[in-house]
Structure 1
């Protein structure tokens, strides 16, 4: 009986020497290429060079070495077909029983700040995916390994069963096709962005498993957390967890929402989120002062909430945070003294995330039953807006600051959304209502006596004057809203009636 043959060609050489040594001990002869061959030879492992199998030298700077009938016939031949075996024998081609291949580091290459287009293209693997796909297609006869984590399983089964089981071969083949699909999807995404294609005919995206989750929104729903291969370092997907129990599905959603809001601010700011909506936002000269205002904004709803800060958490702030039950605290960093205070709470999750904002909005993907919606992130801010003031009175300087705060926050509140602020903190938030006056009523009720002198932000226009009238009667002094209703004049007249200064931005911020 002829020796079994393994073909080994890897860019990730983690554990490869030990794995191949084990294969040789099991009676395999090993065919290898380039750097892998050199590494094995230096370790004293007997290796057959790829050119000895193909009878053809590696050419074109190594671009062509395994794309040869002597390789692919050995991979694709079906052992149970006599004509396949006869053709192999006639052409003196040895079947290949095991393939160990991983691909050129395309992801790592394009992640480099100085990566050129030429660098990226040169790191697109051709021979590797071809061998993997051929071996995976013929997995009934060929064991194909793409991940070093699977080396122990393969060696274990070879030791116990003399061959890898069909079930394992099939599982490994499925993993190969996921691997090559993800690899091609990343290349497709890179090239699609490079040529400026905005609406490609197919949407090919890939994500990598970050962690399994205990359950989804509810205990009866399964869930897993995946991240983009090159996720923004200032995203929740790239956050570093310093302390606390494992994140849940709802934790991740809420943390993402809190982080998006707090990044809106240059000054020290703290955001508290419950169920994807901000329940309190505070700013100040220090992060301690900002947290105090975020807490005061809604001391009831913050209980069990997620808090994000855009400055380092110091001891004084940590002491205040420890006084109530919080699920998560997100910050760029924590002082050691703050960690000493907060880690006393065993389950409190502490995450660090850089607070830089991406220059380009990221495509946001929302799954629907049977489909996918794709849109840009809403990074449109007040500085980009064309502002107009149609009312008799213009905002005071203090009102302007309060209106800017309201506008930063309201775009992150579920529609229909109304936010009331006093310039330093939110005092009322009305979220996710079926009509705008209902959202305003909730925000005004929450603000209570703090409403006097507050300003209002609305994520979309007022369809009639009733919301402005409600605000005027409650004591709101200024409003910022997109405008654009066919009945804008009704709202303007109502604002003038109550002496309200109204700013129109021309841009709405629906959030569903």
Structure 2
């Protein structure tokens, strides 16, 4: 009976020499290529070259070396099929029982700044995926290893039983097809971008890697996982935040933190955003981050309890002392002083996330699953051109009004529709979210603001289909309104605003958040 053979050809050579040494001890002959072969031989491991197996030289700068029947026949032949075995014998092809291959670093290459297309193309692996797929297809007989973290389990099973189990081989094969699928998707996406395709291609390829199994999903009877995008590693968002302290994030934690981060990044001045159940419940602005926090807290001191806070400035000792008086699920900031971190870590379950929240949001694709499908849209990172805004009322907004209107207009983008935000240049005063009719959201926001609504401004994420919302706001002291306009009844709302002496700005852009 001939010895078993293992083909080893890896780009990432971590641990490969030790793996090969153990295979030799277990009776395997090693076939290898190029740099892998040189390393193995340097470690004293005798190897057959691919050229010795195929009786054919490597060519085209290494593009063609393993694409040969003596390789793929040895991988694909079914051991339980006598015709296959007779064909191998007729053509003097020997079986290959184990394949250890990982791929050229295509993703890492295209992530580098100023990489050329030629450089990227040369990192498209052909032989590697081909060998992996051949071996994985024949997992009934062939063990295939694409991940160095699997070396140990393979060696353990070979040592204990002389072979890997069918269950392990099937699991390893599944990992291969997931890896090659992800690899091909990266290439397809890159070439689509290089060709300057408008929108997304007809075949949507997604690249995500599971990085965390969450405690539970939206409810504790639902399983949940966190997958990180492989194509947006440079995006500053919840997926790239560094957790400094606290228990692991839950499904809802991720969603709330993401909402807080997205909103706080809309502002350059010191800003604090408090989020509860995916909606902002308080947003404060100040000359200092301490002042911004105080105003965010004042916005809604009830809802902020158990919420998520995002800061766009460093948290120092004094601020940490203030925060420690409040139960908060998550605190997000670009940095924490050492003393502040020590104070905040006294609450063992509170999550502390470090993330550069000073950089603007980047445009990316948002994905939402529906039964049997996927909805895809560009994220709403549009920066409105204020020169296109129009004052449509007889009363003009003051400079202070405009400052407040701009801020509330940015906040309302992050509130679930129907969305209304009441506030001033310092902080939000009332937020009406997710109501089935717009006047309901207006009443929630205005009533929450209470007496503070007098002299405040109001932002609406969409137009007013009826003038009743404007009338309710006017009767409670709102002095300026901003909304997209576009209703066939816009003039009725304008007329009510003029009747009450309210200034109104129409932006021409809707920021609906469903």
What corresponds to 1:101 in structure 2? 101
- Give the alignment of 1:35-50 within 5 angstroms: 35-50=35-50
2:268/2:358 contact within 8 Å kept:
no
Is 77-86 or 94-103 further displaced after alignment?
77-86
**CA-CA distance at 1:357 after TM superposition:** 4.1
What corresponds to 1:204 in structure 2? 205
Distance 2:181 2:44 in 1: 35
1:139 has 2:142 as partner: no
Distance 2:96 2:396 in 1: 80
Tell me the secondary structure at the aligned position of residue 61 of structure 2: coil
What corresponds to 2:390 in structure 1? 388
Distance 1:125 1:205 in 2: 19
**CA-CA distance at 1:399 after TM superposition:** 0.3
Deviation per residue, 1:440-476 (Å, 9 max, x gap): 0000111012111100000000001111101100000
2:282/2:296 contact within 8 Å kept:
yes
- In structure 2, which of residues 458, 467, 471 is the aligned counterpart of residue 465 of structure 1? 467
**CA-CA distance at 1:233 after TM superposition:** 4.2
Distance 1:445 1:97 in 2: 73
Deviation per residue, 1:406-429 (Å, 9 max, x gap): 000001100000001111100000
Distance 2:488 2:374 in 1: 33
Deviation per residue, 1:358-387 (Å, 9 max, x gap): 675101111101100010010122336721
Distance 1:415 1:311 in 2: 29
Distance 2:482 2:361 in 1: 26
Tell me the secondary structure at the aligned position of residue 484 of structure 1: coil
Gaps of 5+ in 2: none
2:332/2:355 contact within 8 Å kept:
yes
2:361/2:381 contact within 8 Å kept:
no
- Give the alignment of 1:162-173 within 5 angstroms: 162-173=162-173
What corresponds to 1:445 in structure 2? 447
What corresponds to 1:277 in structure 2? 279
**CA-CA distance at 1:134 after TM superposition:** 0.5
TM-score, normalised by the number of residues in structure 1? 0.98
**CA-CA distance at 1:332 after TM superposition:** 0.8
1:382/1:404 contact within 8 Å kept:
no
**CA-CA distance at 1:389 after TM superposition:** 0.8
What corresponds to 1:351 in structure 2? 353
Tell me the secondary structure at the aligned position of residue 384 of structure 2: coil
Deviation per residue, 1:209-234 (Å, 9 max, x gap): 11000110000100000000133341
TM-score, normalised by the number of residues in structure 2? 0.98
What corresponds to 2:189 in structure 1? 189
What corresponds to 1:82 in structure 2? 82
What corresponds to 2:435 in structure 1? 433
**CA-CA distance at 1:337 after TM superposition:** 1.3
**CA-CA distance at 1:90 after TM superposition:** 2.0
**CA-CA distance at 1:356 after TM superposition:** 4.9
Distance 1:286 1:410 in 2: 23
Distance 2:386 2:351 in 1: 36
Tell me the secondary structure at the aligned position of residue 341 of structure 2: helix
- Give the alignment of 1:115-130 within 5 angstroms: 115-130=115-130
Distance 1:418 1:113 in 2: 42
Call closer, same or farther: CA 1:385–1:8 in 2, change over 3 Å.
Answer: farther
Distance 1:409 1:38 in 2: 60
2:262/2:361 contact within 8 Å kept:
no
Total equivalences in the alignment = 512
- Give the alignment of 1:242-321 within 5 angstroms: 242-321=244-323
1:220 has 2:217 as partner: no
1:460/1:509 contact within 8 Å kept:
yes
Distance 1:43 1:486 in 2: 79
Deviation per residue, 1:142-183 (Å, 9 max, x gap): 000111111111000001111111111111111111111111
Tell me the secondary structure at the aligned position of residue 326 of structure 1: coil
What corresponds to 1:150 in structure 2? 150
Deviation per residue, 1:315-337 (Å, 9 max, x gap): 11111111100000011111111
Distance 1:472 1:57 in 2: 84
Distance 2:182 2:358 in 1: 28
Distance 1:261 1:359 in 2: 9
1:423 has 2:425 as partner: yes
Distance 1:89 1:357 in 2: 64
What corresponds to 1:71 in structure 2? 71
Gaps of 5+ in 1: none
**CA-CA distance at 1:15 after TM superposition:** 1.0
Tell me the secondary structure at the aligned position of residue 331 of structure 2: strand
Is 82-91 or 474-483 further displaced after alignment?
82-91
Call closer, same or farther: CA 1:319–1:73 in 2, change over 3 Å.
Answer: same
Distance 2:105 2:390 in 1: 52
Distance 2:382 2:481 in 1: 19
Tell me the secondary structure at the aligned position of residue 219 of structure 1: coil
Call closer, same or farther: CA 1:358–1:62 in 2, change over 3 Å.
Answer: farther
- Give the alignment of 1:490-509 within 5 angstroms: 490-509=492-511
2:236/2:361 contact within 8 Å kept:
no
Distance 1:271 1:478 in 2: 23
Distance 2:400 2:82 in 1: 87
Distance 1:331 1:151 in 2: 40
What corresponds to 1:18 in structure 2? 18
- Give the alignment of 1:332-371 within 5 angstroms: 332-357=334-359, 360-371=362-373
1:482 has 2:484 as partner: yes
Distance 1:356 1:103 in 2: 36
